[in-house]
Amino acid sequence: MMIPEEGKSKEEVLKELKLAQQNDARWEEGRIFSLVFHFSEEHSDLVKSAYNMYIHENGLNPMAFQSLRKFESEVVQMTAFLLNGDDNTVGCMTSGGTESILLAMKTYRDKARKERKKKYFIPEIIIPDSAHVAFLKAGEYFDIKMIHAPVDKTGKVNVKAVERRITPNTIALVGSAPNYPYGTIDPISELSDLAIKYNLNLHVDACVGGFILPWLEKLGENITPFDFRVPGVTSLSADLHKYGYSAKGASVILYRTMDIMKHQLFVSVNFPGGIVMTPGLTGTRPGGAIASAWATLMGLGQNKYLENAKKLSEIVQRMKEGIQAIPELEIVGEPQGPLFAYYSKSPEVNIYAVADLLEEKGWHIDRQQKPASIHFMINPLHEKIVDEYLSDLKEAVSRVKENPNLAKQATAPVYGMLATVPLRGMVESEVRKIVENIYKNTGSNINLEEQNTPDNGLTIIKKLLGYFLKK
């Protein structure tokens, strides 16, 4: 596809944009349980206005746009205060949770190289099996060996298993608050004890929980300690564009002191274009994301965050009670907060077949493996759909139980098969080929029917299934 010779009118462009949205998930109706975080229409108007005011400004140069530096500094301070930091706590804004995690891992690698006076050694970082995939990306990008530790039946990392994996090359430990798959909070205090005992860094991935767990705790919920009150925690990541309800992409990476963060900074003094300094991975940083994050925190304030947390807690409770009232279903682990997953404890009910039937009803379902389960991230929009969802879920479970053949149809065997295929390297190889094909320059128009992946990878998985069946 080429750039049109003559530009289209504003009306034509907006019409095509609207048309392209028709196959997107219907998040406004509460039919999706991930990806979108919406507080209210009034708040969205504020976020859009703030973003548009700074749509051309660039956070790359804080001296040119001092207002953005002020906003970023205050966002970091407010986040640090929320997560019980002190006057020594430092950090910066990033493009999202993945960048925040990448930066923390890169920082600990470089810190270890300097402290141990070993520039070329393979550092090791111990992560739970449930840790976000961004940690694996950091390992691949920065030549860090990520050592996996198992989680127990509660969905939390096994601390004794973590300690057994510590070696002379270990430079850091990782815990989640909460993890994405199960919504459980790792025993951060126990990981802190290990970090102090072995003189290791400890990063807490609070990308999801950073802007919701503190409010739930203020409401009296028993939240596992995870922030800078835990002495061994040396860094925290928290996403503003999740339960902070800012515009994408906005996250914060925090460090206990500048003695740690200084290893994150990039400085070049010999570039012909001048001296360059960047705190994160990117050069250009959208001013709109920074400004809207500041506007969000200032516009909502503590009281609205507390009101939202109370509403989310009530929605989650209703959902959990409704799911647990269905005898064949069970909640995974011991989740805290608005994330959780449920699975089938009945051999007669294939959870992926249940997901298929729910999607026939118009729900956008996030399927998981280890265990086979359905994933939730609850938001205020879901208040209006709880009863409808639970009714559809109960009906779907009954239909699958009465019709065992449903487990052999549609996408149910696809997910079930790929969760148990032993040749994981072959699976990865085929996924890479498919992704390469999606992004390569084909010289022709993109076929949205072929490229659309409405359930986080269904198209890819269908192609993979065909590949393995041919084998």
The domains located in the chain, with CATH, are 50-297 (3.40.640.10), 308-416 (3.90.1150.10), 424-442+460-470 (no CATH)
Of 44-53, 130-139, 158-167, 199-208, the one with minimum mean pLDDT is 44-53
DSSP 26: -
Q: How confident is the model at residue 88 (pLDDT cuts 50, 70, 90)?
A: very high
Q: How confident is the model at residue 408 (pLDDT cuts 50, 70, 90)?
A: confident
**Spatial CA neighbour of 342 closest among 29, 134, 33:** 33
**Spatial CA neighbour of 136 closest among 233, 180, 144:** 144
- For residue 287, the model assigns a pLDDT of 83
Query: pLDDT, tens digit, for every residue of 237-261?
Result: 999 999 999 888 899 999 999 999 9
Average pLDDT rounded to a whole number, residues 84-110: 94
Q: Report the alpha-carbon distance of residue 155 to residue 98 in Å, rounded.
A: 22
- Tokens at 286, concatenated: 């959208």
> Exposed, middle or buried by CB within 10 Å (0-12, 13-18, 19+), for 13?
exposed
What is the Rg, in whole angstroms, of the alpha carbon atoms belonging to the chain? 23
Residue 209: strand, helix, or coil:
coil
Tally of helices (H runs) and strands (E runs) in the chain: 16, 13
Q: Give, in degrees to the nearest 5, the angle at Cα 181 between 84 and 398.
A: 135
pLDDT at residue 234 greater than cutoff 90: yes
- For residue 435, the model assigns a pLDDT of 57
CB 126 within 8 A of CB 166: yes
Residue type, 270: N
Q: Report the alpha-carbon distance of residue 324 to residue 326 in Å, rounded.
A: 5
Upstream peptide bond of 249 is cis (omega within 30 degrees of 0): yes
- For residue 121, the model assigns a pLDDT of 83
Tell me whether strands 201-205 and 235-239 are parallel, antiparallel or unpaired. Answer: parallel
Report the mean per-residue pLDDT for the chain.
85
Strand-pair partners of 98: none
- Tokens at 126, concatenated: 């111990």
Q: Report the alpha-carbon distance of residue 96 to residue 226 in Å, rounded.
A: 20
CB 181 within 8 A of CB 151: no
2, 185, 209 from 177: Cα distances, Å? 46, 5, 6
Total length of the chain:
471
Q: Helices 386-402 and 287-324: crossing angle, nearest 10°?
A: 50
Tell me whether strands 339-344 and 366-368 are parallel, antiparallel or unpaired. Answer: unpaired
Residue 13: strand, helix, or coil:
helix
CB 121 within 8 A of CB 169: yes
Q: How confident is the model at residue 183 (pLDDT cuts 50, 70, 90)?
A: very high
CB 359 within 8 A of CB 181: no
CB 39 within 8 A of CB 47: no
**Spatial CA neighbour of 158 closest among 144, 167, 147:** 147
- For residue 365, the model assigns a pLDDT of 87
State percent of the chain over pLDDT 90. 53
- For residue 454, the model assigns a pLDDT of 41
Query: pLDDT, tens digit, for every residue of 4-48?
Result: 878 888 888 888 888 887 777 677 766 777 777 777 788 888 888
**Spatial CA neighbour of 316 closest among 376, 392, 227:** 376
Average pLDDT rounded to a whole number, residues 428-456: 51
- Higher local confidence (pLDDT), 439 or 325: 325
User: What is the number of other CB atoms lying within 10 angstroms of the CB of residue 299?
Assistant: 17
Q: Report the alpha-carbon distance of residue 134 to residue 126 in Å, rounded.
A: 14
Tell me whether strands 170-176 and 145-149 are parallel, antiparallel or unpaired. Answer: unpaired
Average pLDDT rounded to a whole number, residues 179-204: 96
Residue 359: strand, helix, or coil:
helix
Average pLDDT rounded to a whole number, residues 60-88: 87
For the full predicted model, state whether its pTM sits above 0.95.
Answer: no
User: What is the number of other CB atoms lying within 10 angstroms of the CB of residue 329?
Assistant: 22
Q: Report the alpha-carbon distance of residue 267 to residue 212 in Å, rounded.
A: 35
CB 126 within 8 A of CB 163: no
- Torsion of the alpha carbons at 105, 108, 109 and 110, rounded to the nearest 10: 120
